[in-house]
């Protein structure tokens, strides 16, 4: 199935910040377990039961670059997407490190998920109708809004794709980006020759070796890879062309609504926490307050049981990985050294596209 490696992660991560609208977060998360989960209930002997029996989550991921998803020097997976797998593990096991990362290539990631190589695909995967309907998969919720972009050498003097004239562009097979590139090439008088590669490594290597005039992929991936591949990243620039927004979401196998709900609502919890001004530090304080716990959990335990999770699943998720603000900042924002701005990934109340799904 093209899998490169599997690793059991046992590394914690530091976080910080502090408000207090946590009571609502926990109560709301317990109130809403979704209609499908209420029907399937804990009796559904599906993926969640398999994960619980195994004792850890299998998380499919790809090497997208620093800040997004990449193993560090010690081989431990770091980045925005691995942290959301840790959120799921924390909700199920109260242990964010109860996750084994399975590396897969972009070209076969969906087939690997269908074949049962992992429980959830957490990578730069765009949610499209074709994938959702025809591949036997379900996407759960958008965690990151990206956009297709083109990277060129600054020496080209180009600011738009048309400035390149007759050009060769490197792209990766079986991606939404190469499909749009083919549509673009067929609709313009500009001569665009497409060089397709099976992997990101091969495409980027060809671009840096000047076999292509440009490379196209998600903007975040182009920038993350540039930081580790180019001797001098300042010699490259992104074109102004942005053919499409890429809504990136976790994917699970179809036919297990309970597991789909588990992934959707556990990964939604950090977004809701950010909207409520709740962070990891305040969640940890609430977990140590037994009176608060007893009050908040008592009447909602039945709904949490129908979802198949412990009644404190939402608060333990935030206590482990923090809010969306914290996840983004430590992996991609100012605290990471990458300095990527939130842009479309800011909350709707701050001019972005990120909206927490209501829990109640």
Domains and CATH numbers, the chain: 5-143+249-350 (3.40.190.10), 147-245 (3.40.190.10)
Q: Where are the alpha helices (DSSP H) in 94-218?
A: 109-114, 129-134, 176-186, 200-208
Distance CA 281, CA 289 (A): 13
Cβ-contact 11, 76 below 8 angstroms: yes
pLDDT of res. 282 = 85
Q: What is the mean pLDDT of the chain?
A: 85
Residue 12 pLDDT > 90 = no
Q: What is the mean pLDDT of the segment spanning 222-243?
A: 92
Residue 31 pLDDT > 80 = no
226/151: higher pLDDT? 151
Angle at 134 between CA 133 and CA 135, to 5 degrees: 105
Question: What share of the chain has pLDDT > 90, as a percent?
Answer: 68
pLDDT of res. 302 = 66
The number of CA neighbours under 13 Å toward the Cβ of 345 is 24
| From 22-31, 102-111, 186-195, the region with the lowest mean pLDDT | 22-31
* 300-322 pLDDT tens trace: 676 688 789 988 888 889 999 99
Of the candidates 12, 238, 248, the one whose C-alpha atom is nearest the C-alpha of residue 109 is 248
Strand partners, 247: 145
Q: What is the mean pLDDT of the segment spanning 315-339?
A: 93
pLDDT of res. 296 = 42
pLDDT of res. 289 = 66
Q: What would the two tokens of residue 125 be? A: 């995967």
Distance CA 144, CA 161 (A): 25
Residue 123 pLDDT > 90 = yes
Residue 120 pLDDT > 80 = yes
pTM of the model: 0.83
The number of CA neighbours under 13 Å toward the Cβ of 123 is 28
pLDDT of res. 71 = 95
| From 3-7, 208-212, 229-233, the region with the lowest mean pLDDT | 3-7
Distance CA 315, CA 190 (A): 54
Q: What share of the chain is helix, strand, coil (3-state, %, to 5)?
A: 45, 20, 35
Residue 18 pLDDT > 60 = no
């Amino acid at each position: 199935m093209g899998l490169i490696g599997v690793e059991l992660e046992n590394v914690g991560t530091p976080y910080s910040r502090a408000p207090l609208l946590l009571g609502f977060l926990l109560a709301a998360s317990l109130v809403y377990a979704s209609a499908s989960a209420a029907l399937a209930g804990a009796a559904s002997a599906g993926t969640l039961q398999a994960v619980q029996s195994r004792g850890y989550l299998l998380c499919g991921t790809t090497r997208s670059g620093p800040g997004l998803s990449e193993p560090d020097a010690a081989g431990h997976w770091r980045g925005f997407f691995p942290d959301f797998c840790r959120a799921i593990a924390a909700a199920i096991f109260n242990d964010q490190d109860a996750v084994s990362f399975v590396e897969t290539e972009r070209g076969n990631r969906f087939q690997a998920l269908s074949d049962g190589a992992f429980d959830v695909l957490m990578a730069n995967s765009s949610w499209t109708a074709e994938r959702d309907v025809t591949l036997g998969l379900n996407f759960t919720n958008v965690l990151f809004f990206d956009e297709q972009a083109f990277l060129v050498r600054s020496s080209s003097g180009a600011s738009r794709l048309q400035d390149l004239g007759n050009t060769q562009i490197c792209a990766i097979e079986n991606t939404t980006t190469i499909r749009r590139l083919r549509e673009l090439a067929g609709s313009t008088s500009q001569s665009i020759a497409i060089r397709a590669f099976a992997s990101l490594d091969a495409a980027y290597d060809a671009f840096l070796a000047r076999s292509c005039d440009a490379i196209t992929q998600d903007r975040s991936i182009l920038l993350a890879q540039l930081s580790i591949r180019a001797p001098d990243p300042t010699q490259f620039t992104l074109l102004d062309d942005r053919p499409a927004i890429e809504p990136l979401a976790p994917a699970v196998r179809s036919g297990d609504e309970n597991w789909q709900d588990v992934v959707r609502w556990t990964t939604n919890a950090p977004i809701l926490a950010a909207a409520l001004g709740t962070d990891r530090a305040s969640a940890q304080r609430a977990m140590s307050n037994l009176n608060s716990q007893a009050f908040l959990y008592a009447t909602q335990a039945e709904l949490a049981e129908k979802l198949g999770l412990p009644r404190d699943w939402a608060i333990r998720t935030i206590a482990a990985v923090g809010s969306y603000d914290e996840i983004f900042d430590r992996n991609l924002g100012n605290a990471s050294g990458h300095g990527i701005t939130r842009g479309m990934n800011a909350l709707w109340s701050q001019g972005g596209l990120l909206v927490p799904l209501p829990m109640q």
